Amino acid sequence: MRDETEQNEPQIPISDLIRLIKSMPKNIRSEAINLLEKALGKDFATKADSLTGTSVRGFLFESKFYEAESHIDVLRELLELIVKRFPDEQEKLLGLHGKKRNYFSRDLNEVSQQSEKIKGTSIYFEKCDNANTLRKRCKDVLKLFGIDTTTFEVIEF
């Protein structure tokens, strides 16, 4: 049972808390978001809004802007950046998969026919997904390689 002081504490909507954390100085923002995600079991680095019908200008990654014309271009470019940075660890990508299908594979038969190779590798990536799923996959790739997801943001029109 809660004591009286807990019941009288003001309730802050999660969306306000997330906005507050994102406004913090960069050096503590990442730690605060990670703590909140762990405490509540949610990914707050991803926008909650639907991305259906949105147009892309590019994306920011670690304070640098990269041009992209679509959500699949964002994933394609991010994957190229990651495999260049971690050439000896690209095999990690093969461990990312859904319940029913692979997102990455060396065998084209294990992904859809619309898949394509990540430039400079023999790994195919699945690109037949909606914008929300593609953005989530970008964040999953960043997490897989130990990169702070708050350093990544898709820029839309």
CATH topology of domain 45-156: Replication modulator SeqA, C-terminal DNA-binding domain (1.20.1380)
pLDDT value of residue 22: 67
pLDDT value of residue 64: 92
Burial of 52-88, coded b for 16+ CB within 10 Å and e otherwise, reads eebebebbebeeeeeebeebbbbbbbbbebbbeebee
pLDDT value of residue 31: 75
pLDDT value of residue 80: 97
Report DSSP letters for 65-93, one per residue: EEE-SSHHHHHHHHHHHHHHH-GGGGGGG
pLDDT value of residue 74: 96
pLDDT per residue as tens, the chain (157 positions): 444 444 555 666 666 766 677 677 767 776 776 777 677 666 554 444 566 667 888 999 998 999 999 999 999 999 999 999 999 999 999 999 988 889 999 999 999 888 999 999 999 999 988 898 999 999 999 999 999 999 998 888 6
**What residues does each domain of the chain span?**
45-156
